Structure formats: structure tokens, C-alpha cells
């Protein structure tokens, strides 16, 4: 190895900063996934209302609701992984 020494306190500070940035990114990803899930739910409502007379959009409505559920679960999974980041 080279003769370079890394101070342990610098390593801890760098790790703490990285964890903070990563935590912010995880929060942002969870928030965006939650928004996407809600957007899909609203799209399903619009499709349901648009096809209320003849039921022409039932398949699309069902698909949008299915994906909304998946994306909402993804948002919860992302948020739960933040705890993994913070544990030593």
C-alpha cells in the first residue's frame, strides 16, 4: 500500500455524510413512488368515469388499479429500506 493514512474520524464523517445523502435519496424515491401510485389511482378513476356508460375501459381501469397497488407497495418497501441504511 501507499504510505497514505486515512484518519478514522474523517472516515466516520464521510460515511455519515454519505448516509445522509443516501437517506435523502431514499426519501425522495419513496415519495416519488407514492406519487406514481396515487397518479395511477386517479387515472383509474378517470377511466372508470369515462367508461361509466358502456364499461369500455374496465380492463384498463383494472390494470391501472393493479399497478397502483404494486407501486404503492414499492413506495413502502423503499421507505423500509432506509432503516437498513441507518443500521451499522
- Set of cell numbers at residue 69: 397497488
Q: Is residue 2 part of a domain?
A: no
Q: Is residue 3 part of a domain?
A: no
Comparing 82 with 47, the larger pLDDT belongs to: 47
> How much is the pTM?
0.71
Q: Is residue 1 part of a domain?
A: no
Give the total number of structural domains in the chain. Answer: 1
SS3 content of the chain, % helix, strand, coil (to 5): 80, 0, 20
Parent domain of 51: 10-86
Convert the pLDDT of each residue in 23-58 to its tens digit.
899 999 999 999 999 999 999 999 999 988 887 899
Q: How many percent of the chain have pLDDT more than 90?
A: 57
Q: Is residue 62 part of a domain?
A: yes
CB 60 within 8 A of CB 47: yes
Q: Is residue 42 part of a domain?
A: yes
Amino acid at each position: 500500500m501507499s504510505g497514505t493514512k486515512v484518519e478514522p474520524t474523517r472516515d466516520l464523517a464521510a460515511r455519515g455524510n454519505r448516509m445522509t445523502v443516501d437517506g435523502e435519496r431514499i426519501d425522495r424515491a419513496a415519495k416519488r413512488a407514492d406519487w406514481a401510485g396515487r397518479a395511477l389511482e386517479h387515472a383509474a378513476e378517470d377511466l372508470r368515469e369515462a367508461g361509466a356508460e358502456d364499461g369500455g375501459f374496465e380492463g384498463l381501469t383494472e390494470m391501472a388499479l393493479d399497478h397502483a397497488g404494486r407501486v404503492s407497495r414499492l413506495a413502502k418497501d423503499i421507505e423500509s429500506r432506509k432503516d437498513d441504511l441507518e443500521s451499522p
